[in-house]
Amino acid sequence: MTTTAASTRRRSRAAMTTAATTTVGQYDHVAAARYLMRRAGTTALTVLDGQQSNEPIGCVTETDVAAALTQGKDLNETRIRDLIAHSHAQAPSC
Protein backbone atom coordinates (compact mmCIF):
# COMPACT_ATOMS: atom_id res chain seq x y z
CA MET A 1 0.00 0.00 0.00
CA THR A 2 1.34 3.39 -1.00
CA THR A 3 0.81 6.45 1.17
CA THR A 4 0.01 9.58 -0.74
CA ALA A 5 0.39 13.17 0.38
CA ALA A 6 -3.40 13.59 0.32
CA SER A 7 -3.99 10.62 2.62
CA THR A 8 -1.30 11.90 4.98
CA ARG A 9 -3.00 15.32 5.10
CA ARG A 10 -6.37 13.69 5.85
CA ARG A 11 -4.87 11.73 8.74
CA SER A 12 -3.13 14.86 10.03
CA ARG A 13 -6.40 16.81 9.97
CA ALA A 14 -8.17 13.99 11.77
CA ALA A 15 -5.45 13.92 14.42
CA MET A 16 -5.71 17.68 14.92
CA THR A 17 -9.50 17.46 15.27
CA THR A 18 -9.16 14.73 17.88
CA ALA A 19 -6.52 16.70 19.77
CA ALA A 20 -8.72 19.78 19.79
CA THR A 21 -11.60 17.88 21.37
CA THR A 22 -9.47 16.42 24.15
CA THR A 23 -8.76 19.70 25.91
CA VAL A 24 -10.97 21.95 28.01
CA GLY A 25 -10.47 25.22 29.83
CA GLN A 26 -10.49 25.40 33.60
CA TYR A 27 -13.55 27.68 33.54
CA ASP A 28 -15.65 25.38 31.33
CA HIS A 29 -18.61 23.53 32.81
CA VAL A 30 -18.18 19.91 33.83
CA ALA A 31 -21.13 19.04 31.58
CA ALA A 32 -19.06 20.21 28.61
CA ALA A 33 -16.15 18.00 29.68
CA ARG A 34 -18.48 15.02 30.02
CA TYR A 35 -19.87 15.66 26.53
CA LEU A 36 -16.37 15.95 25.02
CA MET A 37 -15.19 12.75 26.70
CA ARG A 38 -18.12 10.83 25.26
CA ARG A 39 -17.73 12.39 21.82
CA ALA A 40 -13.96 11.76 21.68
CA GLY A 41 -14.26 8.28 23.19
CA THR A 42 -11.77 9.08 25.94
CA THR A 43 -11.78 8.92 29.73
CA ALA A 44 -9.65 12.01 30.45
CA LEU A 45 -9.22 15.53 29.13
CA THR A 46 -6.29 17.88 29.49
CA VAL A 47 -7.28 21.07 31.32
CA LEU A 48 -5.76 24.26 29.94
CA ASP A 49 -5.14 27.45 31.91
CA GLY A 50 -7.29 29.42 29.49
CA GLN A 51 -6.30 32.76 31.00
CA GLN A 52 -3.00 33.97 29.59
CA SER A 53 -0.71 31.10 28.74
CA ASN A 54 -3.18 28.37 27.68
CA GLU A 55 -0.75 25.89 29.26
CA PRO A 56 -1.90 22.51 30.61
CA ILE A 57 -2.61 22.70 34.34
CA GLY A 58 -4.05 19.23 34.98
CA CYS A 59 -6.64 16.78 33.77
CA VAL A 60 -10.21 15.89 34.47
CA THR A 61 -11.31 12.26 34.28
CA GLU A 62 -14.53 10.27 34.15
CA THR A 63 -13.88 9.46 37.81
CA ASP A 64 -13.87 13.19 38.66
CA VAL A 65 -17.19 13.62 36.84
CA ALA A 66 -18.69 10.57 38.55
CA ALA A 67 -17.58 11.89 41.95
CA ALA A 68 -19.26 15.24 41.22
CA LEU A 69 -22.48 13.44 40.29
CA THR A 70 -22.30 11.32 43.44
CA GLN A 71 -21.95 14.48 45.53
CA GLY A 72 -25.11 15.85 43.91
CA LYS A 73 -23.37 18.65 41.99
CA ASP A 74 -25.10 20.17 38.98
CA LEU A 75 -22.70 19.53 36.07
CA ASN A 76 -24.05 22.58 34.23
CA GLU A 77 -23.12 24.84 37.16
CA THR A 78 -19.87 23.24 38.36
CA ARG A 79 -16.64 24.43 36.77
CA ILE A 80 -13.78 22.10 35.87
CA ARG A 81 -11.37 24.10 38.06
CA ASP A 82 -13.49 23.11 41.08
CA LEU A 83 -12.93 19.43 40.32
CA ILE A 84 -9.22 19.53 39.59
CA ALA A 85 -8.48 21.72 42.61
CA HIS A 86 -9.82 18.98 44.89
CA SER A 87 -8.77 15.83 43.07
CA HIS A 88 -5.20 16.62 42.00
CA ALA A 89 -2.58 18.00 44.38
CA GLN A 90 -0.28 18.71 41.45
CA ALA A 91 -0.84 18.90 37.72
CA PRO A 92 -0.46 15.34 36.44
CA SER A 93 -0.11 14.50 32.79
CA CYS A 94 -3.12 12.95 31.13
Tens digit of each residue's pLDDT (9 = 90 or more) over 28-63: 999 999 999 999 999 999 999 877 778 899 999 999
List pLDDT tens digits, range 9-25.
Answer: 444 444 444 444 589 99
Residue 39: CATH number of its domain: 3.10.580.10
For residues 83 and 60, the answer to whether their CB atoms sit within 8 Å is yes
Domain hosting residue 65, numbered range = 5-87
Q: Indicate whether 93 belongs to any domain.
A: no
Helix, strand, coil percent content, the chain, rounded in steps of 5: 45, 15, 35
pTM of the complete model = 0.68
Q: Indicate whether 94 belongs to any domain.
A: no
Q: Indicate whether 14 belongs to any domain.
A: yes
